[in-house]
Structure 1
Amino acid sequence: MRKTTLLFLFAFTAIVAVAQQKKTSGNPIFPGWYADPDAAVFGSDYWIYPTFSAVYEKQTFLDAFSSKDLVNWKKHDKVLDTVNVKWAKKAVWAPAIVKKDAAYYLFFGANDIQNDNEIGGIGVAVSKSPSGPFKDHIGKPLVDKFHNGAQPIDQFVFKDKDGQYYLIYGGWSHCNIAKLSNDFKSLVPFKDGVTFKEITPEGYVEGPYMFIRNGKYYFMWSEGGWTGPDYSVAYAVADSPMGPFKRIGKILKQDPKIATGAGHHSIIHNEKKDAWYIVYHRRPISETHGNNRATCIDEMVFDENGLIQPIVITNEGVKAQKVN
């Protein structure tokens, strides 16, 4: 047998051995600068859709990552590209994914508009597959103006118990909730005729997220400045997606020994195991540049009263866990 063949077999065996030894995800969970991760479970796969963390002019696409066990992740390049969204030019941020019927809808912010005269805001793209390609769903932004002081960014789509889908979004320390139409092409006014209702809790800055547990609505958001070490996640609990939301406290923040700037998160709930995970970005302690953010995952635990315990951020990440 040739020497080169032996060397190849040796290297391959070593790689397999390392892969087999990997017991936890490690943090970050995949290489590259990625932020604002939105996580979902589709079938037997976990999916994460993050922001490509770079200068605004280079944020013209979104990648996605899938895994069957939370440990080994596969990259899906450019599931969304501004080539398929003519009005989006830069600053494609904070994707939010949802499956409805046989289609997948990817909500995103673009262009970082600073006033109502600029083109941009929150868009919607659609695909028949979670891996894309996603194409513009309505040919224009779904939200392209400031309402109640909220910059149209950092969108999250929430499905209520009655099947109604809501858009929850907002930067500049204001958060709105709005009803989505059945086809996700428009917003539907509430019974009182108002389309955008403000639900901003104390301390809110950006990055809203909502889920239901034991009949209660948990509303989470990011606080602090995204480029600084004080970036963090806080939450509130209410009996309705409309609130009122009274701030309970922070549950995710930096650990100067591990990483800083921990924030802008999403949640994975493995219903079969009733296991909860928080997916978020943070800045390695070796990095100071604002865009040098990496996607990580750690366990989320509730106490006997349903309160979220402070997250322990780790370098190890989480153990392997299949969806089914």
Structure 2
Amino acid sequence: MKLQRLDPDDGAAVAATMTFLQAGRAADTPWDPPHTERGLVASLRYGWDGEPGEKWLLVEDGQVAGTLDLHFSQRDNTHMAYVGVSVHPDKRREGRGRALAEEGLARVRASGRRLAMGGTLDAEAPAAFAAAMGFAQASVEVQRRQDLTEVDPARVEELRARAAEAARDYTLIRMDGPVPDDLVDEVAEMAAAINDAPTDDLDIEDEVFDAKRVRGFEAAQEAAGNKLYRVIARRGTDGPLAGHTMVGVPAELPDWAWQWDTAVLGAHRGHRLGMLLKADMVTWLRAAEPSVRWLDTWNAESNAHMIGVNEALGYRIVTRHLGWQRAV
């Protein structure tokens, strides 16, 4: 199969890929915001947090008919690789998806890694395709959305106040933009608490967090146009950092924001810090970014604790995503 790797400096190829992505969104996830060229180019250059993946294009008659996404982490989980396949809605059920998936599996195999992972919507056609390619379902993740125009500020304040009483030995720090140099190592250690979140049956190892990864994430989000907001809980006024929650607000999509990691270190759990952090973030975000209406988050379906926090704050289910894996 002849594929062309997408170069972020190739304006024509980027434009053709944007057309392809928007067609897929319209057909498959019309409830999601549109893709942005800035976000696509940033992902090609920086990935999510400094480790960019590969996007390969299947081009037919000058148009993108399909894509193959590959990601080979170098800092952790070097036993596996991510494989993502997408086909233009007008080109499906003609063998392109299978050919792209087989190519991706061959490349994972050639790299020496033993496992391929991927994700699909929880829908009949993509799930059947993954199973037909030999993948086994290993996780369920739920996408939820908060409509800030419908969330009662008094209710959020009530939840925040109750949590603050349970967490009276902690103080909160609001931080926008990059983490200060004197805190970056401690923030990396705190961020690693996300490894305690449920991963169901996925064959994955703990992710490695260090200052380089924190800075890589910040650089990637800045390139994508996402302004970072972070609320951090600290023991007392000068004690260790205990937990955080983080939101990204895309400059080119003023109605939208992404609720990313919320994590509390094990030694500080049991004080309702998760609720305190997220409720405070909602209050801050409404004041700092009044144009934001939609706030999306994702959790393992088995993460009952965080789902309870989210639903109390008004998050509602949008859709479910399935995680898949197979040996190569």
Q: Same fold (TM over 0.5)?
A: no
The structure richer in helix per residue is 2
Which structure carries more relative contact order (alpha carbon 8 Å, separation 6+)?
2
Q: TM-score, normalised by structure 1?
A: 0.28
The structure richer in strand per residue is 1
